[in-house]
Amino acid sequence: MVAHATANKPKEMPSICSCGKPLDLSHSTSCGPNQLNRHNRIQARFVAMAREQGCTTEQNPRYSVEDAKTQLEPDVVFYFGSGPAVEADITVVNPNAPSYLARSVAPVAGSALKTAEGRKEHKYDHSAYRRGRQFVPLAFETQGRASKHILSLLKRFAALTQPGQGLAVGDMVMDLQMALVRGNAECAQTVVGKAMRAEDRRREAQFPLPHRNSFGR
């Protein structure tokens, strides 16, 4: 977690990922199946905070056996008691991913968030409107930047509670960012571990151990 936050690559970190791509801190948080665990961790915190603030929720858990591209139901539905329910879907994007950097010679801060939000709105906005609900994309960058939609939703949570009760918006933001950091660390731990095993196998293939007979000679 400290390495990712300070951009200081550990000395023992392999240079090649098990997927074959160059391995750096940015790639370590965006490769592999643990991205789903990070997503579910953040979703659980949103739901817990909403309920603590007095907001009723309904959620659709995500499983690794499902194809995310075919999922047409939002992650969470928030019921505030007045006004339309809010459907929300969570996404975490890596602003340093080649797919984002290649779109501009000088990438603008926050452009990855806007792109991710646009994808979610295209996928869910119309269906939410047909159900008489509002859709809100909840996007994070892997470094911690949160979209304005997240702050707006947290302010609605805070407005449900009486003064001196519940959590302040700043506390909820910090809580979500800690969930994101823990999710990043889990992703990186798995990716780096696989890369180290792959590196060991390549080394063994390049420098095989001498053959021993039945007597250990």
Q: Are 46 and 188 in contact (CB under 8 A)?
A: no
Q: Is the pLDDT of residue 104 over 60?
A: no
Beta-strand ranges (E) seen in 20-173 are 56-59, 76-79, 86-93, 134-141
Q: Considering only 39-48, 55-64, 139-148, 151-160, which range has the smallest mean pLDDT?
A: 55-64
Q: Is the pLDDT of residue 184 over 70?
A: yes
Q: How open is the CA angle 195-201-204, to the nearest 5 degrees?
A: 140
What does the pLDDT read at residue 8? 65
What does the pLDDT read at residue 120? 93
d(CA 1, CA 197): 21
**What domains lie within the chain, and their CATH numbers?**
34-179+188-193 (3.40.1350)
Three state DSSP letters for 54-76: CCEEEECCCCCCCCHHHCCCCCE
What does the pLDDT read at residue 33? 76
Q: Are 153 and 19 in contact (CB under 8 A)?
A: no
Beta-strand ranges (E) seen in the chain are 56-59, 76-79, 86-93, 134-141
What does the pLDDT read at residue 73? 85
Q: Are 82 and 115 in contact (CB under 8 A)?
A: no
What does the pLDDT read at residue 70? 66
What does the pLDDT read at residue 212? 56
Q: What is the pLDDT of residues 36-93, one digit of tens each?
A: 889 999 999 999 999 988 899 999 888 775 666 667 789 999 999 888 999 999 999 9
* Mean of pLDDT values over 109-138: 91
d(CA 176, CA 151): 11
The verdict on pTM exceeding 0.75 is: yes
What does the pLDDT read at residue 66? 62
Q: Considering only 21-25, 56-60, 133-137, which range has the smallest mean pLDDT?
A: 21-25
* Mean of pLDDT values over 145-154: 94
CA distances from 6 to 43, 53, 54, 94, 101 (A): 26, 33, 37, 16, 21
